[in-house]
């Protein structure tokens, strides 16, 4: 059950639908269900698994490593370094810790979680060292706006940036004004986190109306809306295998021009630059 893919700038295919793990490993009573959810994701063809050292202070990485035991080669693992650790040396050390927690010898895509006090040049140098050593296969950023990306690609090694992971959903459309066009122009795919706004979109009347027309759910419509843009990857977080099946069904939803117009009326696109929002 293959998932459609988009390509990183180096040509590596990446599934357009993944599984996020924010808040995983925070409650021991949910651990079994969370691992079962990641197994269900792999079984359903959702092989992109996103985590970060910030999540449960490394606990999410450990849970992902446990879930991928014996199945690592099936997965495309995305991990993130905290900005407080993103010096040249700190990035390398964070990656080494991540590899141990994930029980793997490589991270497929390693991101700067958001911009902090360390210069981008230091972080990029560390990323390139890790890539040369085979410990990461590609690197990117998260929560960086257009001016940050301009600065990044102004660095010689910065042109290797493979993605920008951002908050994007029907209620968070600011990136459409300039960030998404910039990424499209530079061939940088965008990863949308919280594509259903942590579940808050499920009660929006416009999404429910469109969902009814397609015999779908509001979550599926929200995901289909995000994925309508070429070069966009959605990484919804869910903690049950049933939700994984629901998310997979979003790939079968084909939004019409009428649907998109209705959603535009409910969630108007930006008419000016907005600061990039974060959760």
Task: Output the pLDDT for position 77.
Answer: 98
Task: Output the pLDDT for position 99.
Answer: 98
Active site residue 55: yes
3-state secondary structure 113-129: CCCCCCCHHHHHHHHHH
Quote the crossing angle between the two packed helices 120-132 and 88-102, to the nearest 10°.
50
Taking CA 7 as the corner, what is the angle to CA 194 and CA 185, rounded to the nearest 5 degrees?
85
Task: Output the pLDDT for position 239.
Answer: 86
Task: Output the pLDDT for position 1.
Answer: 61
Task: Output the pLDDT for position 18.
Answer: 97
Number of Cα atoms under 13 Å in the Cβ half of residue 209: 11
Prediction pTM value: 0.96
Structural domains of the chain in order of their starting residue, each with its CATH number: 13-266 (3.20.20.100)
Q: Give the SS3 label for residue 161.
A: coil
pLDDT along the chain (279 residues), means of 10: 90 96 96 97 96 98 98 98 98 98 98 97 98 98 98 95 98 97 97 93 94 97 97 94 95 97 97 94
> Is 113 marked within a binding site?
yes
Catalytic residue among 24, 55, 110, 168: 55
Task: Output the pLDDT for position 212.
Answer: 97
Distance of CA 194 to the CA centre of its chain: 9
Phi, psi of 65 (to 5 degrees): -60, -40
């Amino acid at each position: 059950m293959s998932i459609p893919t988009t390509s990183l700038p180096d040509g590596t295919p990446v599934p357009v639908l993944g599984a996020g793990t924010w808040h995983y490993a925070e409650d021991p009573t949910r651990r079994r269900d969370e691992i079962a959810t990641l197994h269900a994701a792999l079984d359903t063809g959702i092989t992109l698994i996103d985590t970060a050292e910030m999540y449960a202070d490394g606990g999410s990485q450990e849970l992902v490593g446990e879930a991928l035991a014996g199945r690592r080669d099936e997965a495309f693992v995305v991990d993130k370094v905290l900005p407080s650790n993103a010096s040249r040396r700190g990035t390398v050390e964070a990656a080494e810790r991540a590899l141990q927690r994930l029980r793997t010898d490589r991270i497929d895509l390693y991101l700067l979680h958001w911009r902090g006090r360390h210069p981008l040049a230091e972080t990029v140098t560390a990323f390139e060292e890790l890539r040369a050593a085979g410990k990461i296969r590609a690197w990117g950023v998260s929560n960086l706006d257009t001016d940050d990306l301009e600065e990044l690609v102004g660095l010689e090694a910065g042109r290797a940036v493979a993605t920008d992971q951002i908050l994007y959903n029907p209620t968070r459309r600011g990136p459409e004004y300039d960030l998404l066009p910039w990424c499209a122009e530079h061939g940088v795919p965008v990863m949308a986190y919280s594509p259903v706004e942590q579940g808050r979109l499920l009660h929006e009347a416009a999404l429910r109306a469109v969902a009814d027309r397609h015999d779908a759910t509001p979550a599926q419509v929200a995901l289909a809306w995000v994925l309508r843009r070429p070069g966009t990857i959605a990484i919804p977080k869910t903690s049950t295998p049933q939700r994984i099946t629901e998310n997979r069904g979003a790939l079968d939803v084909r939004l019409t021009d009428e649907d998109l117009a209705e959603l535009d009326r409910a969630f108007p696109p930006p008419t000016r630059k907005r600061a990039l929002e974060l959760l």
